[in-house]
Structure 1
């Protein structure tokens, strides 16, 4: 298997969030949204992960840690320009490069694995991850030819009336042959309504060179959901929370009332534990097996062993637990 690289675009200001905090550092189920992306990439065994930072770069780097690789986009001149800032780290390497935005925390490792595999098996220069939406406003449209091959991607603001009717859109996630990607990036221009260097223009450049372009759809449209404002943040939180609850129940945890229960991403719960209504488990909380938790419990970073009963507590540490048999 060829080497796998990933470039995460996390340099934007996220002005629609109306926040002093960089957009990618807003949390979803207790974890920074960009960290969700990093976690999924680690699960598909990416050999190198480069995070492109810009706005408040030191804040982002401090939160994500020094163990990661970073590229710096001093000016936000578009997505192609952002990827090009990683040139000094990747351009001379052979392999497959996945490009993903840091504001897509609902993407799954299963879909990323499919994208990597499809790219490698198809022999394409690029694979576009697409989705179909009833309301595609704001998304780049996938323009196909008469043979249903991907010809190009047109940004919403540059699309014609006919192109705006297209329901298949770009998720902002791509796999590229690494050498083809960086060669094409040098040909991208900023001749568009925004005056920016668009990464999707690489697709048209590669196509014009006679190279193969592939496309694969996400398993669920929610995986390509990007977050730009607080309402979208809340929507993503709800979707991810349902996934977390479902996963715990599949692993043998009883959750009496999922609608009133909140469990963050890094919480661990043993099998045959019962979670009563109005229970919030946060941070790195670890609950043993055969426990009764709730009702009315809110704990952060708490650890309890097997056969523990906790109810009517809202504390962050040193909870007095009652053992039962």
Structure 2
């Protein structure tokens, strides 16, 4: 299989967040949105990941874990998604493989979904493959255009769509896979002759189709995966969805929780069977809660080991520490940076 690269779009300001903070640096369950997107690309073994930065670029770069596969390119002016991807053209100009286009503010997209997209792309030999979805009312998403044979022939953005085109139920999610050479050939031909006066990445699909290239798609079933973040309310909702998924995983693995919706469990936490967790507990970082442990209400555990059958009576704070087997920690006690705690 050809090598795979990714371009992560992370240059936007996010004015509807009502914040001076770069939107993609806001966290979902203790990890920046853009880091979650990069993690997805890393899980797919991308050889190179080009992150397009712009607004508050230093904070975006600082929000990401260091990795030799990461590189950063700057979009100084916000001239559209096509223009953003063009910023990565130089660094990927000689890349002989496939390129994923991912959005830095779409943090719940799973590696399995992107893998399915790439597999379809490789199997069909398409120049481009797009992740699409279907809704009775697709709102202001770009609509998928198909020819008389049902082949994708382009995408029309909502603001540029005719009343008839706005009735189309299949829409673009903004996630793509391209043959690298075909992507940059098509990008060289896009213009800003549209309502927004922007350079649309979506125009590349029509350009490829008109050049006789094939454009394929994968239809996404779980629309929550491509839910973007444009407001604090949406951010809070997506974090709730993500944390609930983690809680359900552990509940189905034999963990008992009191008032589960009040409990925060990070995705790097490991929990054994027959653990009991009180309401309001926060478990973060690379923490392990071993079998039979009991955590009373409102405990905070970060980067720590809670050993088998130990008991935290409640309102305890454990940071960078170790609680030995069958230890009982009194109500309100704190253990911080004591790996050899006795």
| Superposition TM-score tier, normalisation by shorter sequence | over 0.9
Contact 1:131-1:224 at 8 Å conserved across structures: no
DSSP 3-state at the match of 1:89: helix
Query: Aligned to 2:164, what secondary structure does the other structure show?
Result: helix
* Cα distance in 1 for residues equivalent to 2:293 and 2:84: 48
Q: Deviations over 1:266-285 (max 9, x none)?
A: 32223332223332213333
Using structure 2 for the length normalisation, give the TM-score.
Answer: 0.89
Task: Name 2:36's counterpart in structure 1.
Answer: 36
Q: Which moved more, 1:305-314 or 1:137-146?
A: 305-314
Aligned to 2:87: 85
Instruction: Give distance in 1, aligned partners of 2:221 and 2:44.
Output: 16
Q: Deviations over 1:70-97 (max 9, x none)?
A: 1111111111111111111112221110
Residue 196 in 1 paired to residue 194 in 2?
Answer: no
Q: Give the alignment of 1:1-325 within 5 angstroms.
A: 1-67=1-67, 68-315=70-317, 317=319, 323-324=325-326
Deviations 1:201-252 (A, max 9, x none): 0000000101000010123111111111111111211111121112223444
Task: Give me the TM-score of the superposition, normalised by structure 1.
Answer: 0.94
> Does the residue aligned with 1:226 lie in a helix, a strand or coil?
coil
Q: Contact 2:307–2:324 at 8 Å: present in 1 too?
A: no
Deviation for aligned residue 1:263: 1.1
1:151: Cα distance to partner? 1.5
Per-residue CA shift, 1:36-82, capped at 9, x if unaligned? Answer: 11111111111111111111111111221443211111111111111
CA distance in 1, matches of 2:254, 2:4: 35
Structure 1 residue 309: Cα displacement: 1.4
Give the distance between the partners of 2:137 and 2:19, measured in 1 at CA.
27
Following the alignment from structure 1 to structure 2, what is the Cα–Cα distance between the partners of residues 106 and 91?
29
Cα distance between partner residues in 1 of 2:297 and 2:65 = 36
1:244–1:263: 8 Å Cα contact kept in structure 2? yes
Structure 2: state its 5+ residue gaps: 328-342
Deviating more after overlay: 194-203 vs 270-279 = 270-279
SS at match of 2:173: strand
- Where 1:313 maps in the other structure, the secondary structure is coil
Q: Distance in 2 between matches of 1:250 and 1:124?
A: 40
- 1:89-136 superposed Cα distances (whole Å, 9 cap, x missing partner): 112221110101101111001001101111011110000101123442
CA distance in 2, matches of 1:319, 1:85: 45
Tell me the distance in 2 between the aligned counterparts of 1:221 and 1:309: 41
Structure 1 unaligned regions, length at least 5 = none
CA distance 1:66–1:311, change in 2 (3 Å): same
User: Helix, strand or coil for the counterpart of 1:199?
Assistant: coil
Mapped to 2, the partners of 1:126 and 1:21 lie a distance apart of: 34
Alpha-carbon contact 1:270-1:290 (below 8 Å) kept = yes
Q: How many residues align?
A: 325
Per the alignment, do residues 134 and 281 of structure 1 end up closer, same or farther by CA in structure 2, a change over 3 Å counting? Answer: farther
Counterpart CA distance in 2 for 1:226 and 1:56 is 19
Q: Is the 8 A contact 1:296 1:311 kept in 2?
A: no
- List structure 1 runs of 4+ shifted beyond 6 angstroms: none
Relative distance call for 1:6 and 1:319 in structure 2 (3 A) is closer
Mean Cα deviation higher: 110-119 or 129-138: 129-138
Q: Could you tell me how far 1:315 is from its partner in structure 2? A: 2.8
